[in-house]
Structure 1
Amino acid sequence: MYTNVLNEIHFNHKIENFHKTKRSFGRYFEKKTMEIRNIEREDRGNFIAEIENSEAGILEYTWQNDHEFSIDHTEVYDEYKGMSVGKKLVLEAVDYARKNAAKIIPNCPYAKAIFDKTIAFQDVLV
């Protein structure tokens, strides 16, 4: 009898955790549109990610000279973490560098980690 009660409690706990997990991962199953825009001001710029018209994250960069810019900061807002927003911002910076024949200095720890892991981005590194 005691063992059955423990098994039932353990089973119910697993079901509760499953439902909590399913709810917390619900955002991954929804199709959401992300747009990234670039705003440049003289020697600085930002890539801003928006999901369904809400700002989801930002990547800040600074031009060091005519052919090099540094990624200084990447931030993803809490409600959008786990949705690859940061990676997509870095990818946008890489595409921008390629289109403008520029090189990137990844000063931001997050961006540096992405560059260290991604061989395909090595062509735009200083």
Structure 2
Amino acid sequence: MSALYTAIVTASGREGRAVSSDGLLDLTLAPPAELGGDGKGTNPEQLFAAGYAACFASALSLVARHRKIDVSHASVTAEVGLAGAAGGRFGLQVTLRVELPDELHGDQGNALVEAAHQVCPYSNATRGNIPVELVVE
């Protein structure tokens, strides 16, 4: 598979900076207060949540467009949790909350969200690696 685009970001750890090669992304990183940090910067889980939410929303729009369904008022919220695992390891867990227009609730909305989950690159990268819960709201 050939890359259509490659993002390049350099980071120095959970406390420091993350800077993209084009300079458009330049963030202060800090652990959240819940993990003993000062919370005065963003963290990797927030960045992953932003990327996953945006990507999933795009996948949803693509699937809906092919089915001639309007999802222009839909939104996706990604909740990314950092969890401890056996042996001192860490893992992620994700809940994707997809807010659809009322007329798309039920089977049609569930089918759209599931189809987007099959298309989304983040979903394909995480499938089988971390738990991802899909919630239609």
Asked if Structure 1 and Structure 2 have the same fold, meaning a TM-score greater than 0.5 normalized by the shorter chain, the answer is: no
Range of TM-score over shorter length: 0.3 to 0.5
| Larger Rg over CA atoms | 1
Question: Scaled by the length of structure 1, what TM-score is found?
Answer: 0.35
Q: Which structure has greater helix proportion? A: 1
